[in-house]
Structure formats: structure tokens, C-alpha cells
Amino acid sequence: MKKSLHINLRAYFGRALNPSTVGLREPEVLIRHSKQKHYKKDSDWAITQEFDGRYGYLYCHEISVEQEKTMPIKIKKNDLHVLYLIQGQEIELYAKNKKDTKIVLSAKRARYFYLPTGRYYLVLPKGRSLLFGFYFDGKIFRRNYELQFDFLLPLLHAQRQQLSAPVASIDFKVAERTHAYIEQLCDELTDVDLSNESTILTHYIALIKLSKEKVFDEYKIESADKNLATKAHKLLVQKVQHLGQEYRVHELAQLLDRNVDYLNKIHKIYYGCSLSELKDTTLLAIAKKLLATSPSISSCAYACGYSSVSAFTRFFQKQTGKTPSEFLNYTKKMR
């Protein structure tokens, strides 16, 4: 596959140095049989590795700078890319003269990109950044087969239509299994071997499938939990408004066919309170509204589902620090 992505490190570092030069370090992630270049300027340094495969082009850039630097990039072909920020702080990528197209990649995260031909800039933060990536032939996704990779569909469409603007996928975590796949891919590369291409393609597919799993774990399951928490929230409010304090949280769990502890856990994540606390808050709001319009405290208590005024009073005082009578007197004074 022809080289398409060109990061112009020479613009800052000058010419690449001979790898045998004393003091040059070994790369942390080693791509076997790759073309390797070393750069150094004062205390800043960089190591680049590239490997040309039939189905994709691998690269790894390890760059350390004392101050934030912007590196020019040239893209020569409308390719699909995946970039892993294995180490370092947040980086930015944007097209020349189009800062509104800025794409951000956070530490230990990855994204897929469709990058059309053109000039771009890579903003590297102060410190050390370790970037691993590859660009690949989108034709490995046959028509309709790609539907299971829904997070990549906008990129595949952009490449097939040869759109002029870059497109990025949602980002996802880079953790132990991703590291293991990358290390295995880099370690199993050979110099001149027919089996090399099948090895590369096999690992590309494995990494793409792992990306799909990461996206599902982080976004789809999270989305399902959020939807369930929202459903439980709205349903509990509705039931308490209708039945008052008589409605129990465990009845809601049975209705949704979920464990009550699990429902409480996800509700607290998304709403900041347990379902019991939501029930009390909802019931208190109903009670305050009824106290202002009911002919008596007892009628308000019964309307809220209490069988006695004393039980209603204990609930109200616990929530507000005032009895219903004290609350009514307080509100009248405030008018």
C-alpha cells in the first residue's frame, strides 16, 4: 500500500539522524522490519517507524517535546485511518485553514478517521506522545457486511463518495487487550514472506473487531443503562403521583423485571439519588401542592396515600424539618 500520510518532522527537527548515532534510544513499541528514523533537536526527540503492507500501512511515532509543537501533515490519498494515543496527553488534528474541523484524541483513547487529500496540522502537547496507527483499504468491508460496524458507517460512506471533508468516529478506550493485539502484530511481521500479508490482514481485522467491542462496551451498554434509569425514573414519578406513598420501589423493580439494587445503582449514576429518595422527593412535592389547596391536613394525608395524619406528619417533618401546620404558617407569612 502506498504511503499516504506524511508527518513533516523535518520542518522542526531537521534531517533524520543515523540510528547508530551514540545516544539515540530504542523505540518503546518496536515494529519489526520497519523503516525507522530518529530525530533530535536540543532535548526534543522523535522516533518514527513505518511498515508497508498490501492491505494497510502501519506507523508508530514516538515524539518528546519540551513545549507544545504543531507538526505539518500531508495526506496524498483519501484513506481510512485508525490512530491510538497509547501514551501522552490530548492531541489535536485539523485541516489547514479549517480549524472548525479540529479532531481531538485524548490519552489512552483511539479513533477512526476518513482523511481526504490535503494539508493538516498535528498539535502535540508538552511531554512525550506515543502514537500507533495504520491506514487501510476500505474495500475489506463488503457492501452490507459493514452494517455490524455502525460506528464506521459515516467514514465508509465518506470514502466511497470521496467527500472533501474529514470524518471521525467516536473515540474508545485503549487498554490491555488492545496493547496485546498491537504488540503481537508488530512482533509477527516478517521481511519478505508471502504469509506476511495474511498476518497483517488477520491482525487488522482483529483490531477492528476489538474496536467494535470497545465501542459497544463503552457506549451501547452505557446507553442501555441510561435508558433503563430514565424509564425507571419516569415510571416511579408517575406511579407515586397516582398511588402516593403506597407504591413501593420493589414493585417498580418487578414491573421492569430488574433487580432493585441494580436499578438503584444506575439511577444514582444518572440522577444522583436512589429510587427511594426520588419517591420521597416526588411525594413531598405533591404534599406541598396539596397542602396549599386541600381543606385540611388530614385530607392531604389521605390523598398522599397515608392511612393516618400522624404517619404523614412524621414523613413531612423528616423531609422539611417542619410539621405540615408549621409549613402552612410559614408559607402564609412569606406571601
Instruction: Please give the Cα distance from 251 to 235 (Å, whole number).
Output: 11
Domains 5-189 and 224-334 agree in fold: no
Domain-by-domain residue ranges, the chain?
5-189, 224-334
Q: What's the sign of the alpha-carbon dihedral 203, 141, 77, 112?
A: negative
CA distance 117 to 119: 7
85: helix, strand or coil: strand
pLDDT of residue 221: 75
User: Yes or no: is domain 224-334 CATH 1.10.10.60?
Assistant: yes
| One-letter identity of residue 12 | Y
d(CA 212, CA 110): 12
| Calpha distance 308→315 (Å, rounded) | 11
- Cβ-contact 252, 262 below 8 angstroms: no
Residue with grid cell 465508509, as numbered in its chain: 156
Q: Compute the distance between CA of residue 135 and CA of residue 5 in angstroms, rounded to an integer.
A: 9
Pick the CATH number of 5-189 from 2.40.50.140, 1.10.3720.10, 2.60.120.10, 2.60.40.420: 2.60.120.10
Is residue 267 within 8 A of residue 232, CB to CB? The reply is yes
Question: Do 8 and 71 form a contact (C-beta atoms < 8 A)?
Answer: yes
pLDDT at 310: 95
Instruction: Quote the pLDDT of residue 99.
Output: 61
> Which residue shows C-alpha cell 388530614?
298
pLDDT on residue 278: 95
121/74 Cα distance (integer angstroms): 8
Give the residue from 324, 33, 310, 69 showing the smallest Cα distance to 187.
33
What's the pLDDT score for residue 96?
81
**Alpha helices per DSSP H over the chain:** 10-13, 153-160, 176-187, 195-215, 221-243, 249-256, 260-271, 275-293, 297-303, 309-320, 324-334
**Torsion, CA 197, CA 203, CA 209, CA 215, rounded to 10:** -120
SS3 readout for 54-71: CCEEEEEEEEEECCCEEE
Q: pLDDT 10s digit of each residue in the chain, 335 long?
A: 788 899 999 999 999 987 666 567 889 999 988 999 999 999 999 999 999 877 788 999 999 999 999 999 999 999 899 999 999 999 999 988 766 678 899 999 999 999 999 999 999 999 999 999 998 877 777 766 677 788 899 999 999 899 988 999 999 999 888 988 899 889 888 776 666 677 788 888 889 989 988 888 888 777 888 889 999 999 999 999 999 999 999 999 999 999 999 999 999 988 999 999 999 999 999 999 999 888 899 999 999 999 999 999 999 999 999 999 999 888 776 66
